[in-house]
Structure 1
Amino acid sequence: MTNRGSELVDWVAEAMEPVGTVTSRKMMGGHTLYCDGVVFCIVAFDQLWFKGDAENDAEWDAAGCEKFRYDREGKTATMNYRLAPEEAYDDPDELRRWAGLGLAAGRRAAAKKKPRKKKES
């Protein structure tokens, strides 16, 4: 991962301080970002990609924010993350605005997951 990617993680963590604590985990050459334990963003290809879902796709589409695409076994695959608008890279209020959409989508996704059953001892 390049320094730009690490700088983006630091930028997001700093800008999101009023909202919550941002942590990250390395993944496939990038990072997955969590706000208070909820996935809301990834850093990949030295860019910010915020979590999207059916509930907020229209807002992302209206802003012209493309979906995350990658090559998988010779085919193009997508994940429901959206490229952050340019203003999110230098304006903390704009970053929080767009990150808020990602955080809301992350919370909805977490609420849909079934709790794991505990293993019996």
Structure 2
Amino acid sequence: MVASQEYADFLREQLAPLGRITTRRMFGKTGVFCDDAMLGMVTENTLYLRIDYENRATFAEAKSYPPLNYSKKGTLIDLAFWRAPDRLFDDPDELVQWARSALAAARRAAAKRKVSSAKRPATERAPTRVRRTK
């Protein structure tokens, strides 16, 4: 379920110190972006922040909640998004700290994708048409 308009507005306001915050519907959820990097996702008005190996220790408290997941062929697939503890919404400065860490993880993930796509062979390109002359 996507974020309500009120919740999306609330997140934009709370996370504004990070930069330009936007939201977009994705896969039946709402992606939370800062300058085109997806730092979080919202489902049922619950914020999940992006984690990776570098910020996992920072988010240790969030590990007590199940990560964001989806079902594929009867199997639950966990995503790299952990639920933000409710107490963060009582402390806007700490919420921004957590979101800043999630944003750093989002940027690292984007950088890895850019490097791996640059290494892929050009097999997906359209074949070049050669015109023969006699």
Q: How would you bin the TM-score normalised by the shorter chain?
A: 0.7 to 0.9
Displacement over 3 Å in runs of 4+: none
- Once the two structures are TM-superposed, the CA of residue 81 in structure 1 deviates from its matched residue by 0.3
Which whole-Å CA distance do the structure 2 matches of 1:6 and 1:88 have between them?
20
- Once the two structures are TM-superposed, the CA of residue 85 in structure 1 deviates from its matched residue by 0.9
The answer to whether the Cα contact below 8 Å between 1:25 and 1:32 also exists between their aligned partners in 2 is yes
**Residue of structure 1 in register with 2:94 after alignment:** 94
In the alignment, does 2:72 pair up with 1:72?
yes
- Once the two structures are TM-superposed, the CA of residue 52 in structure 1 deviates from its matched residue by 0.4
TM-score normalised over the length of structure 1: 0.82
**Residue of structure 1 in register with 2:27 after alignment:** 28
**Residue of structure 2 in register with 1:58 after alignment:** 57
**Larger Rg belongs to:** 2
**Residue of structure 2 in register with 1:48 after alignment:** 47
Which whole-Å CA distance do the structure 2 matches of 1:98 and 1:59 have between them?
8
Q: Which AA in structure 1 matches 2:36?
A: G
SS state of the match for residue 58, structure 1?
coil
Q: Percentage identity across aligned positions?
A: 34
Which whole-Å CA distance do the structure 2 matches of 1:12 and 1:88 have between them?
12
Which whole-Å CA distance do the structure 1 matches of 2:111 and 2:56 have between them?
18
TM-score normalised over the length of structure 2: 0.75
| Aligned residue-pair number | 119
The answer to whether the Cα contact below 8 Å between 1:87 and 1:94 also exists between their aligned partners in 2 is no
- Report which stretch shifted further, 7-16 or 43-52: 7-16
- Once the two structures are TM-superposed, the CA of residue 30 in structure 1 deviates from its matched residue by 1.9
Q: Deviations over 1:16-56 (max 9, x none)?
A: 22220101111133210110111101001321000000111
Which whole-Å CA distance do the structure 2 matches of 1:10 and 1:90 have between them?
17
Which whole-Å CA distance do the structure 1 matches of 2:16 and 2:46 have between them?
20
Unaligned 5+ residue runs, structure 2?
Answer: 119-124, 127-134
